[in-house]
Amino acid sequence: MTTAEWRTAIASALAARERLRRAHNAMGATVRDGKGGIHPNRKAKWNRYRAQEFLPASRRIEARICELREEFLPAGLKTAARDIVKGGKLTLPAGAAWRERVALLEAATVVFAPEDAQTRIIVPASCAEAAAPPQEALDAADISPGGAKAMLAPDPTEDFTGYTEVDPNDRYAVAASAVTVTALQRNEDAYVYKDRGTGHFDGFSHNVDYKNTATSAYSLLIFWALANVVNDAKAWDNANAEVILCNAYGNSPTLYIRNEETGTQSGQTVSNNTQYYNTISRESGGTTVTMYVYSNPSRTTLVGSKSVSVTGSRKYRFIFAANSYNDGKTYTVSAVIANLDLGEAAGIIPIVMHHLTKNIKAG
């Protein structure tokens, strides 16, 4: 299973868990007596729901999450997560990547007592235990409206309004989640980027949506790049700069992934004026960067994937949301670049309801 496939699978399992949690709480609200307890006349209904619907579904979901964790995550990371949780609090490393944060949360079920007096920690010893936990663990892990469960913060997309824009001819309309490109020519410098610090990007799995809306024959637009120098893409090309990029070329478009250091690239033919959902990934220290092109936002329908080789020790500083290729030509492109997700969740893991947290904090 690739990183991209794993991200899709774990996202689906977490979404199923959240749907079940909401259904459980909605059902719980219908059987309350107004004083925080179960109405005597509705107790049988509640017990049937718990035994026949909620618990079987919960066990299937938790078993799937556990299975994915066991298959994909390094043993050292799982051990570290378990040790952190057993220590009585869940501390996230500063700058932890999304995959690491998923691992830390999914290493255990963390449940806060209704009275806020203490934290109960349940750490499954195995996937079998996650699939069929002991009754005391199920009781402690009740996620009814009277309790509260730790949940992973949504993985945020980039806010482009915090990026640096170099755009003398006003080709870009920069909004929080999208950069709209209008008539960008191949005779100008125009880019949108952010400095994340030296060596920030090593292993990564980035998502970005791309759609061209108008192109001429030999148009060229960079819709994602990692770089160690700020410049237009033609200057990168001339200097064999330390850059990996994805670009859209032509009015019968091809999406390319390219290593500027070596000048090598690989392209996936796509359709004009069509929305695509891309994932670009590399393992830490890896020598291959792969661009996956999908036709649906959940990234389950793969159009194709292309890869280039890179230097394994190479790390990158700048993330580019858009860039031009200035070689003096006047071919134009219009497009929308949106929903750039670097897979780096920020901040603390929030707690459902009103618990904000003596026991869970950012590192």
Q: Tell me the per-residue pLDDT of 29-40, one tens digit each, with 9 for 90 and over.
A: 777 765 656 777
Residue pointed to by tokens 């109405």: 39
Q: What pLDDT does 189 receive? A: 96
Among 51-55, 132-136, 222-226, 326-330, which stretch is predicted with the lowest mean pLDDT?
132-136
Q: 268 and 145 in one domain? A: no
Looking at per-residue pLDDT, the higher value among 19 and 174 belongs to: 174
Cα–Cα–Cα angle for 228, 231, 234, nearest 5°? 110
Distance between CA 60 and CA 97 in Å, rounded?
Answer: 27
Looking at per-residue pLDDT, the higher value among 317 and 362 belongs to: 317
Q: 263 and 178 in one domain? A: yes
Are the C-beta atoms of residues 304 and 268 closer than 8 Å to each other? yes
As beta bridge partners, residue 122 has: 109
DSSP secondary structure, 15-68, as one string: HHHHHHHHHHHHHHHHHB-SSSSB-GGGHHHHHHHIIIIIHHHHHHHHHHHHHH
DSSP-H helix ranges across the chain: 3-31, 43-49, 55-72, 75-86, 98-106, 127-131, 135-140, 233-239
Distance of CA 108 to the CA centre of its chain: 20
Query: How much of the chain, in percent, has pLDDT values that exceed 90?
Result: 44
Q: What pLDDT does 119 receive? A: 33
pLDDT band at 155, cuts 50/70/90? low
Q: 125 and 255 in one domain? A: no
Distance between CA 77 and CA 305 in Å, rounded?
Answer: 29
Q: 352 and 303 in one domain? A: no
Q: What pLDDT does 76 receive? A: 61
Q: 193 and 142 in one domain? A: no
Domain that holds residue 209: 160-341
220-227 vs 318-323, strand pairing mode:
antiparallel
Mean pLDDT (whole number) for 32-56 = 74
Residue 127 has pLDDT above 70, yes or no: no
Mean pLDDT (whole number) for 338-344 = 85
Among 53-62, 193-202, 216-225, 267-276, which stretch is predicted with the lowest mean pLDDT?
53-62
Residue 359 has pLDDT above 50, yes or no: no
Alpha-carbon dihedral 140, 144, 145, 146, rounded to 10 degrees: -30
Mean pLDDT (whole number) for 355-363 = 28
Q: What pLDDT does 49 receive? A: 79
pLDDT band at 3, cuts 50/70/90? low
Q: What pLDDT does 352 receive? A: 24
Q: What pLDDT does 24 receive? A: 74
Q: 313 and 354 in one domain? A: no
Joined tokens for residue 96: 């932890």
Q: What is the pLDDT of residues 285-307, one digit of tens each?
A: 889 999 999 999 878 889 999 99
Q: 297 and 204 in one domain? A: yes
The CATH number of the domain where 220 resides is what? Answer: 2.60.120.560
Q: 172 and 98 in one domain? A: no
b/e map 170-194, b = 16+ CB within 10 Å: ebbebeebbbbbbebbbbbbbbbbb
Distance of CA 234 to the CA centre of its chain: 30
Q: What pLDDT does 16 receive? A: 72
Q: What pLDDT does 148 receive? A: 31
Distance between CA 94 and CA 117 in Å, rounded?
Answer: 27
pLDDT band at 120, cuts 50/70/90? very low
Q: 337 and 351 in one domain? A: no
- Number of structural domains (the chain) is 2
Q: 355 and 281 in one domain? A: no
Q: 253 and 191 in one domain? A: yes
Q: 266 and 176 in one domain? A: yes
Are the C-beta atoms of residues 160 and 174 closer than 8 Å to each other? yes
Residue 232 has pLDDT above 90, yes or no: yes
Q: What is the pLDDT of residues 74-113, one digit of tens each?
A: 566 556 555 554 554 444 444 444 444 444 444 433 333 3
